[in-house]
Chain A
Amino acid sequence: MSATSISACPACIAAPSAEAMAAARAQKASGLVLSLPTAHCAACISDVERELTRMPGVRSARVNLTLKRVSVEAAPEVTPEAMIARLAGIGYEAHELDPGLLSVTETDRRGRDLLMRLGVAGFAMMNVMLLSVAVWSGAEAATRDLFHWISAAIALPTLVFAGQPFFASAWASLKARRLGMDVPISLALILSSAISLYETFQGGEHAYFDAAVSLCFFLLAGRYLDYRSRAIARSAAEELAALEVPRATRIGPEGESIVPIAELALGDLVRVRPGARMPVDGIVTEGASELDRSLLTGETLPVRVAAGLPVSAGEVNLTGPLTVRVTAAGRDSSLHRMADLVAVAESARNRYTSLADRMARAYSPSVHLLALAAFIGWMVQSGGDIRLAVNVASAVLIITCPCALALAVPAVVTAASGRLFRQGLLIKDGTALERLAEVDTVVFDKTGTLTLGAPRPIDLDRHDATDLSLVAALAAGSAHPLSAALAAALTDRGIAPAPVSGLREVPGEGVEAFLGDRRVRLGRADWTGATPEDMTATYLDAGDGRAPRTFVFADQLRPGAAEAVAALKAAGKRVVLLSGDAETPVARLSKELGIEEWHAGARPEEKAGRVADLTAAGGRVLMVGDGLNDTAALAGAHVSVSPATALDAARVASDIVLLGQDLQPIALAASLAVTARRRIKQNFALSLGYNLVAVPVALLGLATPLIAALAMSASSITVSLNALRLR
């Protein structure tokens, strides 16, 4: 069935090579696309369009509310940053999208094409049915012949045009020596229109033009639904990828300039300001700072770097500005490496056969055998009346044709993914829901998945008020995440900062100031003379002769994490925590969430190995993770989920993307998937039931075109209504 036979490869779409991206960008230099997540009303449209067209250099701006995007035609000197600032000024959040990654036109054309065929088939079906009603209610002789001729004139060109997707796909599967669902469909369309044409020539009583055209219409409807749910998922996935416009600040002979990463060459110097993500792999030539490697390794402790040390793409620079010499760019860059990693992992995933495929495998041969049996049986019975035998055989083919089967899966998947999308879950793969329904073990990553990756101080109560006011003063002087968290927490407690002077930040070390003539420092353990802890912590040297004070941090729980874990456990699933972080924070978190099974310090290959072990032991694993270190495990698991904040590679490797901050939809998705699977099976049972009633009638040669049309429409409509109950 279409849900699987034209299976798109999400990795190929979401992670195109750097070269392709660069080429696409060059092509569309003048068109810019911004994402507008908060636009929702008529006023938003006119506000945004008016504000943008007022900017000098902007030729036109057009909002697409369905996609929540605005496309702008502008002179090259208009920068996206200026437009984003302009929109922020009137209260709209906007993000630049990489137009090269949004293959709008291509998917568009295919959708319009399907819709056009659907429209033509619908028009023809209505007209042929009108004529058929007259025939069914007893039109005779010349009138019936005339109606058959008109039906043929409408139906034949329609079938040639609207049936093309089926013929093409049937031909492709025959060339590959397989019997897909499309082979019996095409055979039924061709055989029934041929025999009907022959009957019309002979002035016969029965013509199946109406059945053939409505068959085509219902099948196209199923295919369009399937296409649409896939296109929506893909466009959202593309948008996620396009959000990170990969740029870097290059230091050239004539000063600094901002260039796309694809243009960087080996040996270029790149400036990375504090708070930014490393755009390339390289070696630090100047500056000192700390790096947050949690996306790559899961470690929450920041790592110190200085000149001469290597850095890799994806790490976040925390304190000081760094100058980095590029050691890997273009084809060898980490972007490419990530795509390779995912490709390897994807091919390692054992091929899942969807319910629809399993149905089709049993279905196609049996339909052909049944029709052949009917043909031979009636040849023998009637003593060689070919016309009668072909008539019966084509009636069998039409009645068994998988209208309801072709609608059963797409209708359920569309309804379920629509509901999950409203809850903030994006289903990237058509079979992900089915696989999710089978899951019995859930493996979570810690940093960035169960937690937000944002630290919060946890032991402020241990410290006295003088220390706290000193820390409040020092922490205000730095943008380091630990300082920012401390400053925010202390402001919340209403602690006034101590009067310090000469506040300065020492990159890579901490903050220093003077309280009267005492030098006070807040920062790394070795810089303040403290003994380092096995946890994320910062240290205060108050310069009063006492030992440095320790401020310990824990990662902040993601909202809904506790609820999701509790709900999954309540549903009888085994919950495992696999983290690359140190033992203490992992133990603390698993105790907080009530997860009994946890492993700390897991390297990427250990994570993937443990997922493989669980699978080998008969478990169906749902992996939830966000970092590069989770990518192999994500791709190796039965089904995988990653948050929208995850690294590109992790998002590409997973089947489902969590769009919001909240983790709770995961538990909801797991239960909805079970319902959806039950619904799919019900739909199969329904359409099999119709066949069980109608096929004997057809085999006995009693099927009139009226019965064929009734059986087909009734089963299709029942199946669609059953699917809609999911919404």
Chain B
Amino acid sequence: MEMLVYLIPASLLLGGVGLAAFLWALRNRQFEDPDGDGQRFLSDDWDDRPKP
């Protein structure tokens, strides 16, 4: 049962990381254009050099 001392914080931490990632994505408007984002990564514009 001593294991719980490590396991519970670890599981909470992992869950918290997931939640933080979700909130970050939400704030960065990543759910605004799901169709477009799905297509955009197929385009090869700016593959050779970064967008100015």
Contacts and interface: CB of A to CB of B under 8 A. Distances in A.
A119 B23 CA distance: 8
B32 A42 contact: no
A41 B1 CA distance: 55
B23 A65 contact: no
Contacts of A108: 32
B32 to A, nearest CB: 7
Interface in B1-37: 1, 4, 8, 11-12, 15-16, 18-19, 22-23, 26, 31-36
Contacts, number: 55
Contacts of B34: 66
Interface in A317-363: none
Given A45-B43, A127-B15, A150 B26 contact: no
Interface string A105-117: 0001000100110
A143 B8 CA distance: 12
Nearest to A134: B4
A18 interface: no
B26 A115 contact: yes
A43 interface: yes
Contact of A115 (B4, B31, B42): B31
Nearest to A113: B26
A130 B31 contact: no
Nearest to A143: B1
Nearest to B37: A65
Nearest to A127: B15
A123 B33 contact: no
Interface string A127-161: 10010000000000001001000100010000000
Interface residues of A, number: 25
A126 interface: yes
Contacts of B32: 64, 66, 108
Contacts of B43: 42-43, 45-46
A50 interface: yes
A123 B19 contact: yes
Interface in A211-253: none
B23 A116 contact: yes
Which secondary structure characterizes the binding site on chain A?
A: helix
Given A143-B1, A143-B4, A120 B19 contact: yes
Contacts of B42: 42
A50 B36 contact: no
B48 interface: no
Contacts of B31: 112, 115
Nearest to A43: B43
- Central interface residue in A43, A45, A150, by most chain B CB within 10 Å: A45
Contacts of A43: 43
B35 A66 contact: yes
A46 B39 CA distance: 10
- Central interface residue in A63, A120, A127, by most chain B CB within 10 Å: A127
A67 interface: yes
A677 B18 CA distance: 39
Nearest to B36: A65
Contact of A42 (B19, B33, B40): B40
A119 B26 contact: yes
A214 to B, nearest CB: 15
B40 A123 contact: no
Contacts of A63: 36
B42 to A, nearest CB: 4
A568 to B, nearest CB: 34
B26 A112 contact: yes
Contacts of A45: 36, 39-40, 43
A179 B40 CA distance: 48
Contacts of B11: 127, 130
B23 A42 contact: no
A123 B18 CA distance: 8
A50 B43 CA distance: 12
Interface string A1-26: 00000000000000000000000000
Nearest to A150: B8
A108 B15 CA distance: 26
Interface string A29-43: 000000000000111
B39 A65 contact: yes
Nearest to B12: A127
Given A42-B39, A66-B32, A119 B15 contact: no
B39 to A, nearest CB: 4
B26 A116 contact: yes
A50 B46 CA distance: 11
Contacts of A116: 23, 26
Contacts of A65: 33, 35-36, 39
Contacts of A143: 1, 4
Contact of A66 (B4, B8, B18, B36): B36
Contacts of B8: 150
B34 to A, nearest CB: 6
Nearest to A112: B26
Contacts of B33: 64-67
Contacts of A67: 33
B26 to A, nearest CB: 6
Contacts of A150: 8, 12
Contacts of B40: 42, 45
A46 B45 contact: yes
Contacts of B1: 143
Nearest to A146: B4
Contacts of B36: 45, 63-66
26 contacts: A41-B39, A42-B39, A45-B39, A45-B40, A45-B43, A50-B45, A64-B32, A64-B33, A65-B35, A65-B36, A65-B39, A66-B32, A66-B33, A66-B34, A66-B36, A67-B33, A108-B32, A112-B26, A115-B31, A116-B23, A119-B19, A123-B18, A123-B19, A123-B22, A130-B11, A150-B12
Interface of B: 1, 4, 8, 11-12, 15-16, 18-19, 22-23, 26, 31-36, 39-40, 42-43, 45
Given A126-B15, A143-B1, A150-B8, 7 more contacts: A46-B43, A63-B36, A64-B32, A66-B36, A67-B33, A127-B12, A150-B12
Interface of A: 41-43, 45-46, 50, 63-67, 108, 112, 115-116, 119-120, 123, 126-127, 130, 143, 146, 150, 154
The 7 closest A-B pairs by CB, nearest first: A65-B36, A42-B39, A42-B42, A123-B19, A65-B35, A66-B35, A64-B33
